[in-house]
Amino acid sequence: MKNAMIRLVGIGKHFGEIVALDGVSAEIRESEFFSLLGPSGCGKTTLLRMIAGFDEPSTGEIYIDGKSMDGVPPNRRPTNMVFQNYAIFPHLNVADNVAYGLRAQRQAKDEIRGQVSETLEMVGMAGFENRQSHALSGGQRQRVALARALILKPKVLLLDEPLSALDRQLREQMQTELRHLQRAVGITFVFVTHDQEEALTMSDRIAVLFDGKVAQLDSPIELYRRPANKRVGEFIGVMNFLRANLISEFPGGYEVDVEGLGRVAVSMRQAPGGASASRLLAGIRPEMLTLVFDDADSSENYAKGEVVDTQYLGDMTYYEIALDGAGKTVTLSMRNTAGRPILAPGTGAKVRWTPESVLLLN
């Protein structure tokens, strides 16, 4: 495993009465694309600004590359930041913006010019040296902000919701480009976003932040498959929650009674938090349930119900299904493969599940 590039140890931050961060601990690895994901106001920007050195933590300590950052000002930290509004210097042209940090290091003019055009080329802005900054589009400003930070070859690049101001198409294009860029330069990226899809597609690992606390820190796959609690499960993708009661514990798992499904034997692996509470929740992703169209299907694990709503999306169809004996409907998604019928609301439905479909949450 790679070394820790950033170590956050029990970071707390309060602004007067407001607690913005509360005991955040995490390790961000070298050359990793790390995302801070959470709803607006959960403390992402605050944490990023403390890593950059614009704010001091109220409690706890930050280490970057093994060194404590206590009292180290932003201009002496091996980090650079891409601001949410890009903060392009309006009175300087593109080349002067990008060269801004290098000029502080008193390098030769030719050397600087070479590096500027090299970096601009890397972010897809070759030939834009003399463009005035007010004549740049949103996407171009973003690239200039990236170039301006990357030219200094920081150990860590901090990005605060850099894509949120862009329109959808450009945003998706920049997601891919940013990911490629990060792989190419091998710099640790700490990327702040409130968009779970963005975080899932781009990151090596994600820390989900709720109310100033880390709710879960995992790879995108683990986060999606095994969210630590209901709130994380809801925040990332769609998840159905059915009430469940513990029947018994057996070696390697739990036997539970799930409303609408009946008895399910859940393996330990699908119950990351154990089954301590008496009232449990069964979390099921829409694609973990399948409609059975073939009456001859002999599998045992199925539930009966009725289609309440059908949402046809071209490649996929989403169904709302009222399971017999369940208090609320479940969402189920089916890929529209050749010859597969689409069920209309009101039709009876047979839903198949497997024990692996179910995640047991407290």
Partner 1 sequence: MRGKPGALAVYAAAFLAFLYAPAILLPVFAFNDSKVIAFPLSGFTFEWFRQILDADSLHDATLNSLFIAVSTAILATTLGTFAARASTRYRFPAKAGIMGLVMTPLVLPEIIVGVSLLVAILQLGIELSLWTIVLGHVLICTPFSVAILGSAFQNFDKSLEEASIDLGRSRFATFRLITLPLVLPGILASLLVSFTISLDEFIIAFFLAGSEATLPIYIWGQLRFPQKIPALMAVGTVLLVASLTLLATAEFLRRSSIRRTGTDAAKGLM
Ligand X SMILES: Nc1ncnc2c1ncn2[C@@H]1O[C@H](COP(=O)(O)OP(=O)(O)O)[C@@H](O)[C@H]1O
Q: Which does 15 bind (CB under 5 to 8 A by kind): Mg ion, ligand X, partner 1, none?
A: ligand X
User: CB of 57: closest distance to ligand X in angstroms?
Assistant: 13
How large is the C-alpha radius of gyration of the chain?
Answer: 25
Q: Which does 104 bind (CB under 5 to 8 A by kind): partner 1, ligand X, Mg ion, none?
A: partner 1
Minimum CB distance to ligand X smaller for 50 or for 349: 50
Q: Which does 43 bind (CB under 5 to 8 A by kind): partner 1, ligand X, Mg ion, none?
A: ligand X
Size of the site for ligand X (CB under 6 A): 11
Minimum CB distance to ligand X smaller for 121 or for 234: 234
User: CB of 27: closest distance to partner 1 in angstroms?
Assistant: 23
Q: Report the 10 Å Cβ neighbour count for 125.
A: 21
User: CB of 292: closest distance to partner 1 in angstroms?
Assistant: 56
| Residue 40 touches ligand X, criterion: CB under 6 A | yes
User: CB of 190: closest distance to partner 1 in angstroms?
Assistant: 14
By CB under 5 A, which span of 43-51, 128-136, 147-155, 209-217 interacts with Mg ion?
43-51
User: CB of 80: closest distance to partner 1 in angstroms?
Assistant: 6
HEC-encoded secondary structure of the chain? CCCEEEEEEEEEEEECCEEEEEEEEEEEECCCEEEEECCCCCCHHHHHHHHHCCCCCCEEEEEECCEECCCCCHHHCCEEEECCCCCCCCCCEHHHHHHHHHHCCCCCHHHHHHHHHHHHHHCCCCCCCCCEHHHCCHHHHHHHHHHHHHCCCCCEEEEECCCCCCCHHHHHHHHHHHHHHHHHHCCEEEEEECCHHHHHHHCCEEEEEECCEEEEEECHHHHHHCCCCHHHHHHCCCCEEEEEEEEEEECCEEEEEECCCEEEEEEHHHCCCCCCCCEEEEEECHHHCEECCCCCCCCCCEEEEEEEEEEECCCEEEEEEEECCCCCCEEEEEECCCCCCCCCCCCEEEEECCHHHCEEEC
Relative to beta strand 205-210, strand 33-37 is parallel
Minimum CB distance to Mg ion smaller for 3 or for 85: 85
Q: How far is CA 15 from each of CA 46, 58, 59, 160, rounded to the nearest angstrom?
A: 10, 9, 12, 20
User: CB of 87: closest distance to partner 1 in angstroms?
Assistant: 4
By CB under 8 A, which span of 81-89, 217-225, 285-293, 307-315 interacts with partner 1?
81-89
Sequence-separated (6 or more) residues with CB below 8 Å from residue 97:
88, 89, 133, 144, 148
Q: Binding string, 144-173, against partner 1, x = CB under 8 A?
A: ----xx--x---------------------
| Residue 89 touches ligand X, criterion: CB under 6 A | no
| Residue 45 touches Mg ion, criterion: CB under 5 A | yes
Q: Do residues 308 and 289 make contact, with C-beta atoms less than 8 angstroms apart?
A: no
User: Per CB under 6 A, which of residues 41..70 are in contact with ligand X?
Assistant: 41-46
Q: Binding string, 84-103, against partner 1, x = CB under 8 A?
A: xx-x-xxx--------xx--
User: CB of 55: closest distance to Mg ion in angstroms?
Assistant: 13
By CB under 6 A, which span of 13-21, 135-143, 197-205, 308-316 interacts with ligand X?
13-21
CA dihedral sign of residues 220, 224, 230, 231: positive
| Residue 318 touches partner 1, criterion: CB under 8 A | no
Binding residue (CB under 6 A) for ligand X from 15, 89, 250, 293: 15
| Residue 104 touches partner 1, criterion: CB under 8 A | yes
| Residue 13 touches partner 1, criterion: CB under 8 A | no
- The residues binding partner 1 (CB under 8 A) are 52, 54, 73-75, 79-81, 83-85, 87, 89-91, 100-101, 104-105, 148-149, 152
- The residues binding Mg ion (CB under 5 A) are 45
- The residues binding ligand X (CB under 6 A) are 15, 18, 20, 38, 40-46
